[in-house]
A and B are shown apart, each in its own frame.
Chain A
Amino acid sequence: MNILFKNISKQYKGKYALKNFSSSLDNGVYGLLGANGAGKTTLINIFVGILKSDMGSIVVDGMDTREMGLDFLSHIGYMPQYPRFYKNFTVYDFLLYISTLKSIPSVLAEKRIKELLDIVNLRDAAHKKIGALSGGMRQRVGIAQAMLNDPDILILDEPTAGLDPQERIRFRNLITKFSGNRVVLLATHIVSDVEFIANQVILLKEGQLIKQDAPEVLMQEIEGKVWLVSANDKILNEKAPHLKISNMYRENQCIQLRVIDDHKPAENAVCVSPNLEDVFLYYNSEGEQW
């Protein structure tokens, strides 16, 4: 499966939410990374048809999605941001309902629901009301409903928002489980969500594509630009406003700063290996403000 975004643009009140976005995706997990308001949800909403783009087109396996029409929807599985679903439905009933919406024959749907409930570890909660589920369990219902039609394209919008660390790890593993032979587009502003599972990272800033590559390549690109600087409070107060600080922690009487800079920021600075958070900050942040 290949997805081609061609010059997608969308404006709200004269301001670009997405500007000439072009990209090509093949099977694999794609982390759509950007700060709040970077255009991630806009891109996803245009992709699934919730929003109409002002310009551009999306081509799936050589065919424009507009020409595919309804048929395109049978190829996608979509999990929206902060889904609450229907409180008075049981998990099982809800999944049956979504199967109906996806025109999956009932016999096939029942089989598929059982499989998915096992995979997302919700078999015991199948007959619980959705209103009684925890946030993490509800997210798992969310991914299960997206997977009901065994889609070629799985689109997840901020799937781990509000989850505790254990649920987040569990959810990441689920995404990896579901990523075989399909395109998974995972929008998030939480870098660790994509760091371990994404084959490629798509970096968005103010509606524009900044970078798209494998995490290792992106990290390689800023090799030599991440520094560990030891400072005291006085130096910190003086220098901090001018530095991009990705992390800081106190060690004895000193403060260890992780600084992103094209040049060595201090005499005692030690060059360290970058991580994806550094990449994100390198392209996005204006630096830690005091």
Chain B
Amino acid sequence: MVNLIKYELKKHFLKRSILIAILIFSVINFIKIHSIYQENSYIAESTSPIWHEVYWKLYDQFSGVITQEKIEELLSIYRPLEQKTADLTASTRTDDPNTYTGNVYSDYYLLTRYYVQPMEYAYMYQFAANDIVGTAQNNMIFYDEIGNKYKYRENQMIAKLFANRSITDLSYTEMYQYYLEYDFSSLLVLLICLYGLVGVFVSEKEADMDTLLLTTVSGGRKTVLAKIIASMLFIFVVCLWFWLLDFVGFSIIFGSLEGAALPIYTLKSFENACINLSMSQYAIVSAVIKTGGMMVLGEIFLLISSASKNAMLPFSANLVVTGIAILHKEIMEGSGYILAKIANPFILVANSELFRQTEFVNFLGIPVQSYVGALGLGILMGIVFLFLLLFTGRKNAIVKGKAGANNEL
């Protein structure tokens, strides 16, 4: 089997065209990450050198564990600025030596965006979390009284999830903020997989090898299994490459890995996150789920191409399927139709939507978190597609033992 897998890799994936596509897409990915940095970061060294310098100068002073002293120190700088800029009559000169950045307004906005708001959010988060826990507990009492077990369990899970949540540290989070919601590389991986996988079954027909394979001992189901394993390995390697490239790209371009150990809800967009993981843990979990989702989509690509005689038709069909999956995911984003949302395997590929909110699906009267449901459905689809690939393909009639058996004279 190992040899068969090696040959399948050689046949379909170790091609110059695929390697060139990976190389070109890697460069495009890097450029995209850079453009995100340039467009979104106000402390980018290349576009805002002064803010960059001032931010990192103040960072040593205010980062780390949030203490009363740090809060007071920050407010002692911030309050006067707030007052000066409140009526918009402060000096607009840009070379004021009594400011950090040369301008009062600039100092005010820098401190507001990068220190005061994050510190306020971090400080207030545990109170907000406690409020959620309190409300959930009240709901539990209410639903217990009216006998709604499903809602009772749902609130019980919310209370458990948000209990003891707090953000103790102030840290630079800009890199993780964009890195953890970055899905462009997923699209690139999807396109490469689509291109690579479309030929796995079709090329046998195009080379007239499909019939020859069926007449060999290992050319039937074993070869189909080898094709599937080789395809999954290909997807895994392409995913691994791009996920690593994302991490390296964001780390290098944003220039910091700070905040990796902080909880995911440190990011404002993950305020109501449904998991209690650190940002680095979440990055790994997300990458694993993305890879799994890509494998399910890969199986769909393989299924479609296995039913075709030439590469053009399945390539187009797979593109359409990809388009529908992406469109469906976009339409469903933020929607309350949780089941419809998680039934799309693409949600596993662009999965931040699954983790940003705490949502539930009703599974036989038991509340299941939407990401768990999406994972379950993904695994189920993966197994079903795997069986379809293995058992619906053309087989040798003799090996099946049915060649004319019903009507033997």
Contact = CB atoms under 8 A, between A and B. Distances in A.
Interface residues of A, number: 46
Contact of A45 (B7, B10, B211, B213): B211
A76 B216 CA distance: 8
Interface in B361-409: 396-399, 401-405, 407-409
B217 interface: yes
A101 B223 contact: yes
A73 B396 contact: yes
Contacts of B4: 100-101
A27 interface: no
Given A78-B212, A101-B216, A66 B207 contact: no
Contacts of B223: 101
Given A49-B398, A70-B399, A86-B207, A103 B408 contact: no
B407 A55 contact: yes
A56 B215 contact: no
A16 interface: no
Nearest to B206: A84
For the residues of B in contact with A, the DSSP-based class is: helix
Given A8-B404, A66-B402, A50 B215 contact: yes
B181 to A, nearest CB: 40
Interface in A42-95: 45-46, 48-58, 65-70, 72-74, 76, 78-89, 93
Interface in A1-53: 6-8, 45-46, 48-53
Contacts of B397: 46, 49-53
B403 A83 contact: no
Contacts of B408: 6, 55-57
A50 B211 contact: yes
The 6 closest A-B pairs by CB, nearest first: A49-B398, A53-B404, A101-B216, A52-B397, A49-B396, A55-B407
B11 interface: yes
B218 A56 contact: no
A97 B4 CA distance: 8
A54 B398 contact: no
Nearest to A45: B211
A129 interface: no
B278 to A, nearest CB: 45
Interface in B164-216: 203, 206-209, 211-216
Interface residues of B, number: 33
Interface of A: 6-8, 45-46, 48-58, 65-70, 72-74, 76, 78-89, 93, 97-98, 100-103, 145
B68 interface: no
B15 interface: yes
A157 B407 CA distance: 27
B212 A80 contact: yes
Contacts of A88: 10-11, 15
19 contacts: A6-B409, A7-B409, A46-B404, A48-B214, A49-B215, A51-B397, A54-B404, A55-B404, A55-B408, A73-B217, A73-B396, A73-B399, A74-B217, A85-B207, A86-B11, A98-B216, A102-B217, A103-B217, A103-B218
Given A48-B215, A86-B209, A101-B218, A53 B401 contact: no
B3 interface: yes
A167 B86 CA distance: 94
B403 A65 contact: yes
